[in-house]
Amino acid sequence: MHAVLRDAWTTVVPDRRDRHGPLPPLMLALTVVTGLVDAFSYLVLGHVFVANMTGNVVFSGFALAGAAGFSLVASLAALAAFAGGALLGGRVAHGARAHRGRVLHLALVVETVLVLAAYVVAQSTGAPYDDTARYALIALLGLAMGVQNAAARALAVPDLTTTVLTLTVTGMAADSRAAGGKGGKVGRRALSVLAMFAGGLVGALAVRHGSLALPLLVATLLLAAGTIVAFVLTRSDAAWTDPL
Full domain range(s) for residue 102? 23-235
Q: Minimal CA–CA distance to 193: which of 174, 172, 208?
A: 172
Crossing angle, helix 214-233 and helix 186-209, to 10 degrees? 140
pLDDT digits (tens, 9 = 90+) for 45-80: 999 999 999 999 999 999 999 999 999 999 999 999
Domain with residue 82: its CATH number is: 1.20.1250
Spans in the chain with pLDDT lower than 70: 1, 184
Residue 1's pLDDT is 62
Number of domains forming the structure of the chain:
1
Does residue 124 belong to any structural domain of this protein?
yes
72-106 as b/e, with b when 16 or more CB fall inside 10 Å? Answer: eebbbbbbebbeebbebbbebbeebeebbbbbbbb
The percent of residues in the chain predicted with pLDDT above 90, rounded, is: 80
> Does the residue 59 lie in any domain?
yes
Tell me if 213 is assigned to some domain: yes
Residue 244 lies in a domain: no
Q: Residue 215 domain-assigned?
A: yes
What would the pLDDT profile of 116-141 be if each residue is shown by its tens digit? 999 999 999 977 899 999 999 999 99
